[in-house]
Amino acid sequence: MGTLNDLKQKFGDRLKEHEPLARYTTFKIGGPADYFFETKTTDELVAAITLAREHSIPMFILGGGSNILIGDHGIRGFVIKNSTGSIRMKGMKGTVTGGVAKKGLVFVEADSGVIFNSLVRFTIEEGLAGLEMHLGLPGSVGGAIFMNSKWTHPPGFVGDAVYQAEILTPENKRITVPNAYFHFGYDTSSIQKTKDILLKIVFALRSDTRERLWQIANESIAYRRDSQPQGVCTAGCAFKNISKAPTSAGFLIDHTGLKGEHVGDAYISDVHANFIINRGKARAADVVQLIEKVRAKVKEKFDVILEEEIIRVGEF
């Protein structure tokens, strides 16, 4: 009770109790959070995390909710929705002639809660290359770095463009770390283990023409439109691709004859076999059952064990 009062005292009416979480996810699935607070600034984000940790309240940072499956019984403890939203030009390294950067790097800093697509559009409009191929990636900047989100046409990882970041350590210290700290890999970054929270990220980008950057970005969008289901409730690829397999996870699922398979309202997409879709009233339990069905059938047919890309959070 003391804890609840502390939270209420700190955050007032903006602290919500028993907040349904489905609306904050692209799957539109998930039960309530015990406590929920939406942070608008980095200082608020730090204050909320610090308070939760000081009171030993379990805490979950929610970005755009586009890579998670929240359990039907919701999340115990404190869910902090990160809606910090500033983007700033930081400066440049290299030669400048007549106000135009000829060579070298231009630095852009974004809050971790910035909508990733807003950052991509901003950098393209500023004539800065490095993120343009990711146009269409849902979610926040923080989520994209936590996952080291990627694109294949043309290939690139979000981590490739990271120069440094300000993080909040598990000891609640604000420190700045370089790219190497993250040990970026396929769907991985070190903060998945360290429990650091991303606050602000500096990207190192290169000058290019807006026309060229929009062309690459628009080609990415067109590829998404052709290869992925549109206007549906999903969390993107359900499974990671595996280097051992002859091809993609989607190919294996497709060739196991699972397109259109469903449990309740959770369906394997007809367009892309690695996408699970909520066609209306799917529960998290339905999605989990479908995931296990796919995993078992792909194992049986190809002797490959698929690993989930979607992160399960909370109580199922």
Ligand X SMILES: Cc1cc2nc3c(=O)[nH]c(=O)nc-3n(C[C@H](O)[C@H](O)[C@H](O)COP(=O)(O)OP(=O)(O)OC[C@H]3O[C@@H](n4cnc5c(N)ncnc54)[C@H](O)[C@@H]3O)c2cc1C
Which C-beta is closer to ligand X: that of 112 or that of 256? 112
Three-state DSSP class for 315?
coil
Query: Which one of residues 140, 241, 269, 274 is an interface residue with ligand X (CB under 6 A)?
Result: 140
Q: Contact between 30 and ligand X (CB under 6 A)?
A: no
Query: Which one of residues 207, 234, 241, 248 is an interface residue with ligand X (CB under 6 A)?
Result: 234
Q: Which residue is nearest to ligand X (CB)?
A: 143
- Both tokens assigned to 117: 């697509």
Which C-beta is closer to ligand X: that of 113 or that of 127? 113
Q: Contact between 151 and ligand X (CB under 6 A)?
A: yes
Q: Contact between 82 and ligand X (CB under 6 A)?
A: yes
Check: CB of residue 105 under 8 Å from CB of residue 93.
yes
Closest distance of CB 26 from ligand X, Å? 4
Axis-axis angle for helices 42-54, 2-11 (nearest 10): 170
Can you list the pairs that 57-60 forms with residues at least 24 positions away whose Cβ atoms lie under 8 Å?
57/3, 57/7, 60/33, 60/313, 60/314
Closest distance of CB 134 from ligand X, Å? 7
Q: Contact between 235 and ligand X (CB under 6 A)?
A: yes
Closest distance of CB 6 from ligand X, Å? 23
Q: Contact between 117 and ligand X (CB under 6 A)?
A: no
The conformation of residue 84, written as its DSSP 8-state character, comes to -
Which C-beta is closer to ligand X: that of 105 or that of 216? 216
Check: CB of residue 68 under 8 Å from CB of residue 316.
no
Torsion angle in degrees (nearest 10) through CA of 139, 142, 148, 150: 30
Closest distance of CB 78 from ligand X, Å? 12
Side-chain half-sphere exposure of 94, counting CA atoms within 13 A: 17
Check: CB of residue 238 under 8 Å from CB of residue 308.
yes
Query: Which one of residues 147, 249, 288, 298 is an interface residue with ligand X (CB under 6 A)?
Result: 147
Residues in contact with ligand X by CB under 6 A are 26, 60-68, 82, 112, 137-140, 142-144, 146-147, 149-151, 191, 197-198, 234-236, 311
